[in-house]
Structure 1
Amino acid sequence: MTKTVDQSGISNQLANQAAGGAKKGPTIGDLFEQMKPAIAQAIPQHMTPERLLRIATTSIRTNPKLKVCTPESLLGAVMQCAQLGLEPSVLGHAYLVPYTNRKKDPNTGKVIATVEEAQFQIGYKGLLELARRTGQISSIVAHEVYENDLFEYEYGTGEKLRHVPADGERGTVTKYYAYAKFKDGGYSFLVMSKKDIEKHRDKFSKAKYGPWVDHFDEMAKKTVLKGLMKYMPISVEFAKAVSMDETTKREVSSDMSEVIDVTDWQPQENEEPRQEIGESAQ
Protein backbone atom coordinates (compact mmCIF):
# COMPACT_ATOMS: atom_id res chain seq x y z
CA MET A 1 0.00 0.00 0.00
CA THR A 2 1.29 3.46 -0.91
CA LYS A 3 1.75 5.74 2.06
CA THR A 4 0.17 9.16 2.04
CA VAL A 5 2.67 11.98 1.85
CA ASP A 6 1.77 15.60 2.52
CA GLN A 7 2.67 17.53 -0.63
CA SER A 8 1.02 20.81 0.40
CA GLY A 9 4.37 22.44 1.14
CA ILE A 10 5.75 21.59 -2.27
CA SER A 11 2.53 22.69 -3.97
CA ASN A 12 2.73 26.07 -2.21
CA GLN A 13 6.35 26.46 -3.25
CA LEU A 14 5.43 25.71 -6.86
CA ALA A 15 2.59 28.22 -6.74
CA ASN A 16 4.87 30.90 -5.32
CA GLN A 17 7.47 30.20 -7.96
CA ALA A 18 4.89 30.42 -10.75
CA ALA A 19 3.53 33.69 -9.35
CA GLY A 20 6.97 35.30 -9.44
CA GLY A 21 7.49 38.46 -7.43
CA ALA A 22 10.35 40.16 -5.69
CA LYS A 23 11.41 37.13 -3.71
CA LYS A 24 13.52 34.55 -5.44
CA GLY A 25 11.68 31.24 -5.76
CA PRO A 26 13.09 27.86 -4.75
CA THR A 27 15.50 26.14 -7.13
CA ILE A 28 14.68 22.75 -8.61
CA GLY A 29 17.32 21.38 -6.23
CA ASP A 30 15.36 22.78 -3.27
CA LEU A 31 12.16 21.18 -4.56
CA PHE A 32 13.94 17.86 -5.15
CA GLU A 33 15.15 17.94 -1.54
CA GLN A 34 11.60 18.48 -0.31
CA MET A 35 10.41 15.67 -2.54
CA LYS A 36 12.98 13.21 -1.17
CA PRO A 37 10.70 11.64 1.52
CA ALA A 38 8.03 10.86 -1.08
CA ILE A 39 10.66 9.43 -3.43
CA ALA A 40 12.08 7.30 -0.62
CA GLN A 41 8.64 5.71 -0.12
CA ALA A 42 8.13 5.05 -3.83
CA ILE A 43 11.58 3.94 -4.93
CA PRO A 44 12.56 0.22 -5.21
CA GLN A 45 15.23 -1.24 -2.94
CA HIS A 46 17.88 -1.35 -5.69
CA MET A 47 17.94 2.45 -5.90
CA THR A 48 18.39 5.34 -3.47
CA PRO A 49 16.68 8.76 -3.52
CA GLU A 50 20.09 10.45 -3.44
CA ARG A 51 21.31 8.65 -6.57
CA LEU A 52 18.09 9.24 -8.50
CA LEU A 53 17.99 12.95 -7.67
CA ARG A 54 21.68 13.33 -8.49
CA ILE A 55 21.17 11.76 -11.91
CA ALA A 56 18.01 13.81 -12.54
CA THR A 57 19.79 17.02 -11.56
CA THR A 58 22.65 16.20 -13.94
CA SER A 59 20.17 15.56 -16.76
CA ILE A 60 18.56 18.95 -16.18
CA ARG A 61 21.87 20.80 -15.94
CA THR A 62 23.15 19.28 -19.19
CA ASN A 63 19.97 20.04 -21.14
CA PRO A 64 19.17 23.79 -21.22
CA LYS A 65 15.67 23.09 -22.55
CA LEU A 66 14.77 21.19 -19.38
CA LYS A 67 15.76 24.17 -17.24
CA VAL A 68 12.76 26.18 -18.49
CA CYS A 69 10.21 23.38 -18.00
CA THR A 70 7.59 23.75 -15.28
CA PRO A 71 8.74 22.43 -11.89
CA GLU A 72 5.55 20.35 -11.64
CA SER A 73 6.30 18.44 -14.82
CA LEU A 74 9.95 17.90 -13.84
CA LEU A 75 9.05 16.68 -10.36
CA GLY A 76 6.30 14.50 -11.81
CA ALA A 77 8.67 12.91 -14.32
CA VAL A 78 11.29 12.23 -11.65
CA MET A 79 8.64 10.69 -9.38
CA GLN A 80 7.60 8.40 -12.24
CA CYS A 81 11.25 7.33 -12.57
CA ALA A 82 11.25 6.59 -8.84
CA GLN A 83 8.07 4.52 -8.94
CA LEU A 84 9.31 2.41 -11.85
CA GLY A 85 12.89 2.18 -10.59
CA LEU A 86 14.36 3.60 -13.81
CA GLU A 87 17.19 6.10 -14.05
CA PRO A 88 16.83 9.10 -16.41
CA SER A 89 20.25 8.80 -18.00
CA VAL A 90 22.17 7.97 -21.17
CA LEU A 91 21.93 4.28 -20.25
CA GLY A 92 18.59 4.27 -22.05
CA HIS A 93 16.40 3.33 -19.09
CA ALA A 94 14.33 6.54 -19.15
CA TYR A 95 14.39 10.07 -20.50
CA LEU A 96 13.21 13.52 -19.41
CA VAL A 97 12.16 15.15 -22.69
CA PRO A 98 11.27 18.87 -22.94
CA TYR A 99 8.27 19.96 -24.97
CA THR A 100 6.32 23.11 -25.66
CA ASN A 101 2.60 22.58 -25.22
CA ARG A 102 0.46 25.11 -27.02
CA LYS A 103 -3.02 25.91 -25.73
CA LYS A 104 -5.40 26.84 -28.53
CA ASP A 105 -8.62 28.81 -28.57
CA PRO A 106 -11.37 26.22 -29.20
CA ASN A 107 -13.23 28.67 -31.42
CA THR A 108 -10.44 30.08 -33.59
CA GLY A 109 -7.81 27.38 -33.28
CA LYS A 110 -5.16 30.02 -32.64
CA VAL A 111 -2.46 29.50 -30.04
CA ILE A 112 -3.27 31.62 -26.98
CA ALA A 113 -0.67 30.34 -24.54
CA THR A 114 2.44 28.18 -24.40
CA VAL A 115 4.03 26.25 -21.56
CA GLU A 116 7.27 24.31 -21.44
CA GLU A 117 6.90 20.89 -19.82
CA ALA A 118 9.01 17.79 -19.26
CA GLN A 119 7.69 14.47 -20.52
CA PHE A 120 8.59 11.12 -18.97
CA GLN A 121 9.69 8.52 -21.53
CA ILE A 122 10.69 4.93 -20.89
CA GLY A 123 13.74 3.90 -22.90
CA TYR A 124 14.23 0.64 -24.76
CA LYS A 125 16.41 -0.83 -22.02
CA GLY A 126 13.97 0.37 -19.37
CA LEU A 127 11.12 -1.42 -21.13
CA LEU A 128 13.14 -4.64 -21.23
CA GLU A 129 13.92 -4.25 -17.51
CA LEU A 130 10.24 -3.79 -16.62
CA ALA A 131 9.25 -6.82 -18.69
CA ARG A 132 11.84 -9.03 -17.01
CA ARG A 133 10.69 -7.96 -13.55
CA THR A 134 7.26 -9.50 -14.16
CA GLY A 135 8.72 -12.98 -13.67
CA GLN A 136 6.59 -14.27 -16.56
CA ILE A 137 9.21 -13.92 -19.29
CA SER A 138 12.27 -16.13 -19.73
CA SER A 139 13.66 -14.21 -22.70
CA ILE A 140 12.80 -10.96 -24.48
CA VAL A 141 14.80 -9.21 -27.19
CA ALA A 142 14.47 -6.71 -30.03
CA HIS A 143 16.77 -6.37 -33.02
CA GLU A 144 17.36 -4.46 -36.23
CA VAL A 145 17.26 -6.34 -39.54
CA TYR A 146 19.66 -5.21 -42.28
CA GLU A 147 19.08 -5.60 -46.01
CA ASN A 148 21.83 -8.23 -46.43
CA ASP A 149 20.71 -10.35 -43.46
CA LEU A 150 18.85 -13.61 -43.93
CA PHE A 151 15.45 -12.87 -42.43
CA GLU A 152 12.30 -14.96 -42.72
CA TYR A 153 9.05 -14.68 -40.82
CA GLU A 154 5.48 -15.82 -41.14
CA TYR A 155 2.34 -15.28 -39.07
CA GLY A 156 -0.57 -17.70 -38.75
CA THR A 157 -0.79 -21.40 -37.93
CA GLY A 158 2.70 -22.05 -39.28
CA GLU A 159 4.32 -18.98 -37.82
CA LYS A 160 8.09 -18.78 -37.85
CA LEU A 161 10.89 -16.30 -37.24
CA ARG A 162 14.46 -16.74 -38.46
CA HIS A 163 17.19 -14.12 -38.45
CA VAL A 164 20.81 -14.76 -39.51
CA PRO A 165 22.92 -11.58 -39.54
CA ALA A 166 25.06 -11.19 -42.66
CA ASP A 167 28.83 -11.45 -42.47
CA GLY A 168 30.67 -8.31 -43.48
CA GLU A 169 28.70 -5.43 -44.94
CA ARG A 170 25.09 -5.73 -43.78
CA GLY A 171 23.66 -2.76 -45.65
CA THR A 172 20.96 -0.48 -44.29
CA VAL A 173 18.25 -1.28 -41.73
CA THR A 174 14.95 -2.38 -43.28
CA LYS A 175 12.98 -3.85 -40.35
CA TYR A 176 12.81 -4.21 -36.58
CA TYR A 177 11.39 -7.10 -34.59
CA ALA A 178 10.73 -8.10 -30.99
CA TYR A 179 10.55 -11.62 -29.61
CA ALA A 180 9.44 -12.85 -26.20
CA LYS A 181 9.55 -16.35 -24.77
CA PHE A 182 7.40 -17.07 -21.73
CA LYS A 183 8.15 -19.34 -18.81
CA ASP A 184 5.17 -21.56 -19.69
CA GLY A 185 6.84 -22.40 -23.02
CA GLY A 186 4.83 -20.04 -25.20
CA TYR A 187 6.29 -17.28 -27.33
CA SER A 188 5.28 -14.28 -29.41
CA PHE A 189 6.95 -11.97 -31.92
CA LEU A 190 6.21 -8.85 -33.94
CA VAL A 191 7.90 -7.44 -37.04
CA MET A 192 7.68 -3.81 -38.19
CA SER A 193 9.26 -2.24 -41.27
CA LYS A 194 11.46 0.81 -40.87
CA LYS A 195 8.86 2.79 -42.83
CA ASP A 196 6.18 1.81 -40.29
CA ILE A 197 8.48 2.92 -37.47
CA GLU A 198 9.08 6.26 -39.18
CA LYS A 199 5.32 6.75 -39.66
CA HIS A 200 4.84 6.14 -35.92
CA ARG A 201 7.59 8.65 -35.08
CA ASP A 202 6.22 11.29 -37.45
CA LYS A 203 2.70 10.87 -36.07
CA PHE A 204 3.62 11.22 -32.44
CA SER A 205 6.79 13.34 -32.46
CA LYS A 206 7.94 16.45 -34.31
CA ALA A 207 11.30 16.04 -32.61
CA LYS A 208 14.31 17.97 -33.81
CA TYR A 209 16.26 16.62 -30.81
CA GLY A 210 15.76 14.03 -28.10
CA PRO A 211 15.67 10.21 -28.16
CA TRP A 212 14.13 9.89 -31.64
CA VAL A 213 16.97 11.97 -33.07
CA ASP A 214 19.87 10.79 -30.90
CA HIS A 215 18.83 7.16 -30.40
CA PHE A 216 16.58 6.22 -33.34
CA ASP A 217 17.34 2.47 -33.24
CA GLU A 218 16.67 2.31 -29.50
CA MET A 219 13.33 4.09 -29.90
CA ALA A 220 12.45 1.91 -32.90
CA LYS A 221 13.05 -1.26 -30.88
CA LYS A 222 11.03 0.19 -28.03
CA THR A 223 8.16 0.88 -30.43
CA VAL A 224 8.06 -2.69 -31.72
CA LEU A 225 8.36 -4.01 -28.14
CA LYS A 226 5.33 -1.96 -27.07
CA GLY A 227 3.43 -3.33 -30.05
CA LEU A 228 4.36 -6.88 -29.07
CA MET A 229 3.05 -6.36 -25.54
CA LYS A 230 -0.50 -6.24 -26.88
CA TYR A 231 -0.15 -9.99 -27.45
CA MET A 232 1.69 -10.84 -24.24
CA PRO A 233 0.16 -12.21 -20.99
CA ILE A 234 1.51 -9.31 -18.92
CA SER A 235 0.57 -8.43 -15.38
CA VAL A 236 -1.70 -5.55 -14.40
CA GLU A 237 1.24 -3.87 -12.66
CA PHE A 238 3.35 -4.06 -15.81
CA ALA A 239 0.54 -2.71 -17.98
CA LYS A 240 0.12 0.17 -15.53
CA ALA A 241 3.84 0.90 -15.69
CA VAL A 242 3.82 0.97 -19.49
CA SER A 243 0.83 3.32 -19.46
CA MET A 244 3.02 5.89 -17.68
CA ASP A 245 5.32 6.05 -20.69
CA GLU A 246 5.37 9.26 -22.75
CA THR A 247 3.22 11.26 -20.34
CA THR A 248 3.42 14.64 -18.65
CA LYS A 249 2.12 15.44 -15.19
CA ARG A 250 1.01 18.86 -13.96
CA GLU A 251 0.55 17.94 -10.32
CA VAL A 252 2.79 16.44 -7.66
CA SER A 253 1.74 13.39 -5.66
CA SER A 254 3.33 10.49 -3.80
CA ASP A 255 1.53 8.23 -6.31
CA MET A 256 2.00 9.79 -9.73
CA SER A 257 -0.03 7.03 -11.39
CA GLU A 258 -3.08 8.53 -9.68
CA VAL A 259 -2.45 11.96 -11.19
CA ILE A 260 -4.41 12.50 -14.40
CA ASP A 261 -2.25 12.56 -17.50
CA VAL A 262 -3.24 15.83 -19.13
CA THR A 263 -0.84 15.76 -22.05
CA ASP A 264 -0.90 12.28 -23.50
CA TRP A 265 1.59 11.51 -26.27
CA GLN A 266 -1.14 10.72 -28.79
CA PRO A 267 -2.85 13.84 -30.16
CA GLN A 268 -6.60 14.13 -30.06
CA GLU A 269 -8.59 13.93 -33.28
CA ASN A 270 -8.07 16.97 -35.53
CA GLU A 271 -5.34 18.25 -33.24
CA GLU A 272 -1.71 18.69 -34.22
CA PRO A 273 0.91 16.75 -32.21
CA ARG A 274 2.67 18.78 -29.55
CA GLN A 275 5.80 20.52 -30.77
CA GLU A 276 9.07 20.48 -28.92
CA ILE A 277 10.80 23.52 -27.50
CA GLY A 278 12.71 25.35 -30.17
CA GLU A 279 10.32 24.39 -32.97
CA SER A 280 8.57 27.33 -34.54
CA ALA A 281 4.80 27.47 -34.46
CA GLN A 282 3.10 27.33 -37.85
Structure 2
Amino acid sequence: MASQQQVDLKNQLAKKANGTEPKKKKTVFDLINQMTPEIEKALPDFLRKNGGAERFTRIALTQLRTNPALLKCDPKSFLAALMQSSQLGLEPGVLGQSYLIPYGKEVQFQIGYKGFIELARRSGQILSITAHAVHENDEFEFQYGLEENLSHKPNIRGDRGEVYCYYAYATLKDGGHAFVVMSKQDINRIRDTYSKAANTKYSPWNTEYDAMAKKTVIKQLMKYLPISVELLKNISQDETIKHEIKEDMTEVPSEDTEDSFVGTEWEVQEEQKEQE
Protein backbone atom coordinates (compact mmCIF):
# COMPACT_ATOMS: atom_id res chain seq x y z
CA MET A 1 0.00 0.00 0.00
CA ALA A 2 1.39 3.37 -1.03
CA SER A 3 2.23 5.84 1.72
CA GLN A 4 0.56 9.26 1.86
CA GLN A 5 3.86 10.84 0.85
CA GLN A 6 3.97 8.70 -2.30
CA VAL A 7 0.37 9.60 -3.10
CA ASP A 8 1.08 13.33 -2.70
CA LEU A 9 4.14 13.04 -4.94
CA LYS A 10 2.14 11.14 -7.56
CA ASN A 11 -0.58 13.83 -7.51
CA GLN A 12 1.99 16.61 -7.89
CA LEU A 13 3.57 14.88 -10.89
CA ALA A 14 0.15 14.40 -12.44
CA LYS A 15 -0.67 18.08 -12.02
CA LYS A 16 2.59 19.08 -13.66
CA ALA A 17 1.99 16.69 -16.52
CA ASN A 18 -1.54 18.01 -17.06
CA GLY A 19 -0.49 21.64 -16.65
CA THR A 20 -2.99 22.13 -13.82
CA GLU A 21 -0.50 22.95 -11.08
CA PRO A 22 -0.93 26.59 -10.03
CA LYS A 23 2.00 28.77 -11.04
CA LYS A 24 3.98 30.31 -8.23
CA LYS A 25 3.60 34.08 -8.23
CA LYS A 26 6.85 35.77 -9.15
CA THR A 27 8.44 37.91 -6.48
CA VAL A 28 10.30 41.14 -7.12
CA PHE A 29 13.56 39.22 -6.68
CA ASP A 30 12.50 36.73 -9.40
CA LEU A 31 11.67 39.62 -11.75
CA ILE A 32 14.97 41.38 -11.10
CA ASN A 33 16.85 38.20 -12.03
CA GLN A 34 14.64 37.52 -15.04
CA MET A 35 14.81 41.08 -16.38
CA THR A 36 18.50 41.75 -15.73
CA PRO A 37 19.44 41.94 -19.47
CA GLU A 38 16.50 44.28 -20.18
CA ILE A 39 17.32 46.38 -17.13
CA GLU A 40 20.97 46.65 -18.23
CA LYS A 41 19.89 48.03 -21.63
CA ALA A 42 17.50 50.55 -20.12
CA LEU A 43 19.90 51.96 -17.54
CA PRO A 44 21.49 55.36 -18.29
CA ASP A 45 25.16 55.43 -19.28
CA PHE A 46 26.38 56.71 -15.92
CA LEU A 47 24.83 53.70 -14.16
CA ARG A 48 26.21 51.24 -16.70
CA LYS A 49 29.68 52.63 -16.06
CA ASN A 50 29.11 52.61 -12.31
CA GLY A 51 28.05 49.05 -11.60
CA GLY A 52 25.22 48.59 -14.10
CA ALA A 53 22.51 46.11 -13.19
CA GLU A 54 24.49 45.06 -10.10
CA ARG A 55 24.29 48.61 -8.68
CA PHE A 56 20.62 48.75 -9.68
CA THR A 57 20.00 45.55 -7.72
CA ARG A 58 21.77 46.97 -4.64
CA ILE A 59 19.57 50.07 -4.78
CA ALA A 60 16.49 47.86 -5.11
CA LEU A 61 17.45 45.73 -2.11
CA THR A 62 18.18 48.84 -0.04
CA GLN A 63 14.72 50.22 -0.79
CA LEU A 64 13.04 46.91 0.05
CA ARG A 65 14.99 46.62 3.30
CA THR A 66 14.26 50.23 4.28
CA ASN A 67 10.56 49.99 3.46
CA PRO A 68 9.27 46.37 3.66
CA ALA A 69 5.80 47.55 2.59
CA LEU A 70 7.19 47.65 -0.95
CA LEU A 71 7.38 43.84 -0.88
CA LYS A 72 3.57 43.72 -0.70
CA CYS A 73 3.21 45.81 -3.86
CA ASP A 74 3.07 44.70 -7.49
CA PRO A 75 6.69 43.79 -8.37
CA LYS A 76 6.48 45.28 -11.87
CA SER A 77 5.33 48.65 -10.55
CA PHE A 78 8.24 48.60 -8.08
CA LEU A 79 10.78 47.87 -10.83
CA ALA A 80 9.23 50.49 -13.11
CA ALA A 81 9.39 53.14 -10.38
CA LEU A 82 12.99 52.24 -9.61
CA MET A 83 13.85 52.37 -13.32
CA GLN A 84 12.27 55.82 -13.64
CA SER A 85 14.41 57.03 -10.77
CA SER A 86 17.56 55.48 -12.23
CA GLN A 87 17.03 56.85 -15.73
CA LEU A 88 16.57 60.34 -14.33
CA GLY A 89 19.79 59.95 -12.37
CA LEU A 90 17.95 60.49 -9.08
CA GLU A 91 18.73 57.99 -6.36
CA PRO A 92 15.83 57.20 -4.01
CA GLY A 93 16.44 57.29 -0.29
CA VAL A 94 18.02 59.57 2.27
CA LEU A 95 19.25 62.10 -0.32
CA GLY A 96 15.65 63.15 -0.92
CA GLN A 97 16.05 63.20 -4.70
CA SER A 98 13.23 60.74 -5.28
CA TYR A 99 10.84 58.41 -3.45
CA LEU A 100 9.20 55.03 -4.09
CA ILE A 101 5.84 55.18 -2.33
CA PRO A 102 3.62 52.15 -1.57
CA TYR A 103 0.15 53.22 -2.73
CA GLY A 104 -2.30 50.39 -2.20
CA LYS A 105 -0.80 47.45 -4.08
CA GLU A 106 1.15 49.68 -6.46
CA VAL A 107 4.39 51.67 -6.20
CA GLN A 108 4.21 55.34 -7.07
CA PHE A 109 7.32 57.20 -8.24
CA GLN A 110 7.82 60.68 -6.81
CA ILE A 111 10.53 63.25 -7.51
CA GLY A 112 11.79 65.03 -4.39
CA TYR A 113 12.46 68.77 -4.28
CA LYS A 114 16.21 68.14 -4.52
CA GLY A 115 15.48 66.04 -7.59
CA PHE A 116 13.56 68.91 -9.19
CA ILE A 117 16.47 71.25 -8.50
CA GLU A 118 18.92 68.78 -10.03
CA LEU A 119 16.80 68.28 -13.17
CA ALA A 120 16.32 72.05 -13.59
CA ARG A 121 20.05 72.71 -13.32
CA ARG A 122 20.80 70.08 -15.95
CA SER A 123 18.49 71.82 -18.44
CA GLY A 124 21.13 74.44 -19.18
CA GLN A 125 18.66 77.35 -19.03
CA ILE A 126 18.69 77.77 -15.26
CA LEU A 127 21.82 78.81 -13.37
CA SER A 128 20.38 78.30 -9.89
CA ILE A 129 17.08 77.39 -8.28
CA THR A 130 16.20 76.96 -4.62
CA ALA A 131 13.36 77.14 -2.09
CA HIS A 132 13.09 78.34 1.51
CA ALA A 133 10.64 78.40 4.40
CA VAL A 134 9.66 81.72 6.00
CA HIS A 135 9.04 81.87 9.78
CA GLU A 136 6.87 84.32 11.69
CA ASN A 137 9.84 86.15 13.25
CA ASP A 138 11.86 86.47 10.04
CA GLU A 139 12.01 89.73 8.07
CA PHE A 140 10.26 88.97 4.82
CA GLU A 141 8.88 91.18 2.06
CA PHE A 142 7.88 90.52 -1.51
CA GLN A 143 6.09 92.32 -4.31
CA TYR A 144 4.88 91.19 -7.71
CA GLY A 145 4.39 93.51 -10.68
CA LEU A 146 6.63 95.76 -12.78
CA GLU A 147 8.86 96.43 -9.80
CA GLU A 148 8.88 92.96 -8.28
CA ASN A 149 11.02 92.41 -5.24
CA LEU A 150 11.87 89.61 -2.80
CA SER A 151 13.74 90.06 0.50
CA HIS A 152 14.19 87.50 3.26
CA LYS A 153 16.29 87.93 6.41
CA PRO A 154 15.99 84.87 8.69
CA ASN A 155 15.99 85.54 12.42
CA ILE A 156 19.03 83.50 13.48
CA ARG A 157 19.44 85.11 16.93
CA GLY A 158 16.24 83.88 18.51
CA ASP A 159 13.07 81.84 18.09
CA ARG A 160 12.06 82.06 14.45
CA GLY A 161 8.46 81.07 15.19
CA GLU A 162 6.17 78.95 13.05
CA VAL A 163 6.56 78.57 9.30
CA TYR A 164 3.79 80.44 7.48
CA CYS A 165 4.90 80.44 3.84
CA TYR A 166 7.45 79.12 1.34
CA TYR A 167 9.09 80.66 -1.70
CA ALA A 168 11.22 79.49 -4.60
CA TYR A 169 13.37 81.57 -6.91
CA ALA A 170 15.51 80.91 -9.95
CA THR A 171 18.31 82.75 -11.71
CA LEU A 172 18.26 82.28 -15.45
CA LYS A 173 21.12 81.90 -17.90
CA ASP A 174 20.20 85.19 -19.64
CA GLY A 175 20.49 87.11 -16.36
CA GLY A 176 16.77 87.20 -15.56
CA HIS A 177 15.08 85.78 -12.50
CA ALA A 178 11.70 84.56 -11.30
CA PHE A 179 10.14 83.74 -7.96
CA VAL A 180 6.92 82.40 -6.45
CA VAL A 181 5.62 82.77 -2.87
CA MET A 182 3.00 80.39 -1.43
CA SER A 183 1.27 80.25 1.93
CA LYS A 184 1.07 76.95 3.82
CA GLN A 185 -2.68 76.99 3.17
CA ASP A 186 -2.12 77.13 -0.60
CA ILE A 187 0.47 74.35 -0.41
CA ASN A 188 -1.85 72.15 1.64
CA ARG A 189 -4.69 72.81 -0.81
CA ILE A 190 -2.54 71.60 -3.72
CA ARG A 191 -1.45 68.57 -1.67
CA ASP A 192 -5.02 67.64 -0.80
CA THR A 193 -6.27 68.22 -4.37
CA TYR A 194 -3.61 66.47 -6.41
CA SER A 195 -1.65 64.02 -4.26
CA LYS A 196 -3.76 60.93 -3.65
CA ALA A 197 -0.88 59.24 -1.84
CA ALA A 198 -0.43 62.13 0.60
CA ASN A 199 -2.46 60.46 3.34
CA THR A 200 -0.79 57.08 3.09
CA LYS A 201 1.49 55.87 5.84
CA TYR A 202 4.68 56.05 3.81
CA SER A 203 4.06 59.35 2.02
CA PRO A 204 6.88 61.90 2.43
CA TRP A 205 4.14 64.43 3.17
CA ASN A 206 3.88 62.73 6.57
CA THR A 207 7.60 62.34 7.22
CA GLU A 208 9.22 65.23 5.31
CA TYR A 209 6.61 67.99 5.06
CA ASP A 210 9.20 70.76 4.68
CA ALA A 211 10.83 69.04 1.70
CA MET A 212 7.47 68.37 0.02
CA ALA A 213 6.34 71.97 0.57
CA LYS A 214 9.54 73.18 -1.11
CA LYS A 215 8.92 70.76 -3.96
CA THR A 216 5.40 72.15 -4.42
CA VAL A 217 6.54 75.77 -4.67
CA ILE A 218 9.38 74.80 -7.05
CA LYS A 219 6.87 73.03 -9.30
CA GLN A 220 4.72 76.15 -9.36
CA LEU A 221 7.78 78.26 -10.20
CA MET A 222 8.59 76.02 -13.17
CA LYS A 223 5.44 77.26 -14.90
CA TYR A 224 7.24 80.56 -15.46
CA LEU A 225 10.67 79.24 -16.43
CA PRO A 226 12.09 78.47 -19.90
CA ILE A 227 12.27 74.69 -19.79
CA SER A 228 13.10 72.20 -22.53
CA VAL A 229 11.01 69.37 -23.95
CA GLU A 230 13.34 66.92 -22.23
CA LEU A 231 12.82 68.56 -18.85
CA LEU A 232 9.04 68.62 -19.40
CA LYS A 233 9.09 64.90 -20.16
CA ASN A 234 11.24 64.17 -17.12
CA ILE A 235 9.19 66.10 -14.58
CA SER A 236 5.96 64.70 -16.03
CA GLN A 237 6.99 61.37 -14.46
CA ASP A 238 6.42 62.77 -10.98
CA GLU A 239 3.70 60.94 -9.02
CA THR A 240 3.11 58.22 -11.63
CA ILE A 241 2.57 54.46 -11.52
CA LYS A 242 3.86 52.27 -14.34
CA HIS A 243 4.06 48.52 -15.00
CA GLU A 244 6.47 48.22 -17.90
CA ILE A 245 10.24 48.54 -18.45
CA LYS A 246 11.51 50.35 -21.55
CA GLU A 247 14.78 51.89 -22.63
CA ASP A 248 12.99 55.24 -22.28
CA MET A 249 10.59 55.18 -19.35
CA THR A 250 8.96 58.45 -20.44
CA GLU A 251 7.39 56.44 -23.27
CA VAL A 252 5.59 54.13 -20.85
CA PRO A 253 2.05 55.36 -20.14
CA SER A 254 1.20 56.03 -16.54
CA GLU A 255 -1.78 54.41 -14.89
CA ASP A 256 -2.02 57.14 -12.28
CA THR A 257 -0.78 60.64 -13.11
CA GLU A 258 -1.92 62.75 -10.18
CA ASP A 259 -0.53 66.24 -10.71
CA SER A 260 -0.47 67.12 -14.39
CA PHE A 261 -0.28 70.91 -14.19
CA VAL A 262 3.09 70.80 -15.92
CA GLY A 263 4.69 68.33 -18.30
CA THR A 264 1.53 66.88 -19.79
CA GLU A 265 1.71 65.14 -23.16
CA TRP A 266 -0.14 68.08 -24.75
CA GLU A 267 2.41 70.56 -23.41
CA VAL A 268 5.29 68.43 -24.68
CA GLN A 269 3.73 68.26 -28.16
CA GLU A 270 3.12 72.02 -28.24
CA GLU A 271 6.71 72.69 -27.16
CA GLN A 272 7.99 70.40 -29.92
CA LYS A 273 5.88 72.24 -32.53
CA GLU A 274 7.37 75.58 -31.46
CA GLN A 275 10.89 74.26 -31.92
CA GLU A 276 10.25 72.79 -35.39
1:166 Cα deviation (Å)? 0.7
Aligned match of 1:31: 31
1:89 Cα deviation (Å)? 1.1
1:91 and 2:95 correspond: yes
Q: Is the 8 A contact 1:76 1:251 kept in 2?
A: yes
Other structure's SS at 2:127 match? strand
1:49 and 2:53 correspond: yes
Paired letter, 2:235: V
The correspondence of residues 137-176 of structure 1 with structure 2, limited to 5 A, is 137-167=126-156, 168-176=158-166
Aligned match of 2:186: 196
Q: Is the 8 A contact 1:61 1:67 kept in 2?
A: no
TM-score, normalised to structure 1, is 0.77
Looking at structure 2, the residues matched to 219 and 265 of structure 1 have their Cα atoms a distance apart, in angstroms, of: 15
Paired letter, 1:49: A
Paired letter, 1:190: V
Cα shift readout 1:203-240 (whole Å, capped 9, x = no counterpart): 22323432101110000000100110000001110010
Looking at structure 1, the residues matched to 147 and 125 of structure 2 have their Cα atoms a distance apart, in angstroms, of: 24
Cα shift readout 1:26-53 (whole Å, capped 9, x = no counterpart): 4312312333333333333433432232
Query: CA separation of 1:253/1:218 partners in 2, compared to 1, >3 Å: closer, same or farther?
Result: same
Q: Given the alignment, which residue of 152, 169, 179 partners 1:179?
A: 169
Paired letter, 2:71: K
1:240 and 2:233 correspond: yes
What 5-or-longer segments of structure 1 have no aligned partner? 1-19, 101-115, 268-282
Looking at structure 1, the residues matched to 227 and 169 of structure 2 have their Cα atoms a distance apart, in angstroms, of: 14
1:55 Cα deviation (Å)? 1.6
Other structure's SS at 2:142 match? strand
Other structure's SS at 2:46 match? coil
Query: CA separation of 1:182/1:266 partners in 2, compared to 1, >3 Å: closer, same or farther?
Result: closer
What 5-or-longer segments of structure 2 have no aligned partner? 1-19, 261-276
Q: Is the 8 A contact 1:120 1:245 kept in 2?
A: yes
Paired letter, 1:67: L
Looking at structure 1, the residues matched to 154 and 240 of structure 2 have their Cα atoms a distance apart, in angstroms, of: 36
Q: Given the alignment, which residue of 86, 106, 110 partners 1:121?
A: 110
1:265 Cα deviation (Å)? 1.6
Paired letter, 1:152: E
Other structure's SS at 2:219 match? helix
Looking at structure 1, the residues matched to 44 and 177 of structure 2 have their Cα atoms a distance apart, in angstroms, of: 29
1:22 Cα deviation (Å)? 4.1
Q: What number of residue pairs does the alignment pair up?
A: 233
Paired letter, 1:46: F
Cα shift readout 1:229-254 (whole Å, capped 9, x = no counterpart): 00000111001000000000133333
Aligned match of 1:76: 80
Other structure's SS at 1:46 match? helix
Paired letter, 1:133: R
Paired letter, 1:256: M
138-147 or 29-38, which deviates more: 29-38
Looking at structure 2, the residues matched to 53 and 191 of structure 1 have their Cα atoms a distance apart, in angstroms, of: 40
Q: Is the 8 A contact 1:43 1:85 kept in 2?
A: no
Query: CA separation of 1:31/1:188 partners in 2, compared to 1, >3 Å: closer, same or farther?
Result: same
Looking at structure 1, the residues matched to 81 and 109 of structure 2 have their Cα atoms a distance apart, in angstroms, of: 5
1:131 and 2:120 correspond: yes
Cα shift readout 1:157-198 (whole Å, capped 9, x = no counterpart): 010111110122101101111110011101111111011111
More helix by share: 2
Paired letter, 2:27: T
